[in-house]
Each structure stands twice: as structure tokens, then as C-alpha cells.
Amino acid sequence: MRMQTEVLVKRYQQNMFAAALSACKDPQDAEDAVQEALLAYHTSGKEFESEEHIRAWLLRVAINKAKNMRMSFWKKHKVSLEDYMESISFETEQESGLFEAVMDLPEKYRVVLHLFYYEDYSIREISKILRRTENTVKSQLSRGRAMLKESFRGGMEQ
């Protein structure tokens, strides 16, 4: 027996979320576990005996996915940005200020600047890594630099 995934979402999503939440104690991880369980059902060709068998399987998979997330290396070693920034040592106060200014930029500029200046990638390499055109990367580098310059100029005037 197979049922349409959309029907299962409507019927069991809340139950799966509650079960996953009890396993991992994190609402975002529980939502991810539910989605992964539904995706596993949708992509599997597994035949089930009944709707109750499907329900039990979905709950079990959601709980297992949630437990795996809770026990993952990344979850155990997750550190807040503030804690991470405190753990980094800089040779000068200026380097520390630059790092904080870069971290305050929007992600698209921050990532491009990081790859260009800290990882020494060329514009062509960055465009391949991020799957953006070279002109987009150049533009983001230029705008990111301008934003950094403005943040330092604003800090000096105060």
C-alpha cells in the first residue's frame, strides 16, 4: 500500500513533529526531521501493509532522524558566533576590528571577501565555487569593500 505524500503531510505532520521534538528538544531540528522522514517516504519504493503501518514507519523515521541530529558531531560542537569571536586571538586591535566589521556585513559580501582575502581565491575561482558570474563576484567585492570603508569611516567620526 502507498499513499500520496501530500495526504500524509496533512494527516501526520503534527504528530511527527511532536514525536521528533520530544527526541531532540529543538523545534528547528524537529521540523527538519519531519521533512527528512517525509522525503524518505516519498523517495522510497517501500510497500506498506496499511495506513497504520505507514504512520508508525513515519513516526519511527522522524524520531530516528531527530535523534541523529541531536547526537551529530556538528550539534555537539556548535558554538555561538560571539563565543567563537572571543576564542580567536588577533595580533592587533585593528585586526580584531576588521574581523568584526567583516562579520557584520551581509552574507553575500562577507563570503566573497573571505574567499578573496583570507583564502586567496581568484575572482574566477570564487565565481565557480559560489556559482555566480565573475561580474557578480567583482561587484560584490567592490560593494563589500565600500561597506567596510564606510563602517570604518563612520567609526572614526564618532
Q: pLDDT tens for residues 91-138?
A: 787 877 887 888 888 888 988 998 898 788 899 999 998 889 999 999
Please list, in sequence order, all residues whose beta carbon lies within 8 angstroms of the beta carbon of residue 2, skipping any fewer than 6 positions away.
47, 48
Contact 130/137 with Cβ under 8 angstroms?
Answer: yes
Grid coordinates representing 51 are 495506513
Residue 29 has pLDDT above 60, yes or no: yes
Reduced 3-state DSSP string for 80-138: CHHHHHHHCCCCCHHHHHHHHHHHCCCHHHHHHHHHHHHCCCCHHHHHHHHCCCHHHHH
Reading the block at residue 44, the C-alpha cell is: 522510497
Domain-by-domain residue ranges, the chain? 5-76, 81-157
Q: Write down the mean pLDDT value for the chain.
A: 87
Instruction: For the domain covering 81-157, report its CATH number.
Output: 1.10.10.10
pLDDT at 81: 61
Interval 137-153: pLDDT, tens? 999 999 999 999 988 88
Higher pLDDT, 85 or 30: 30
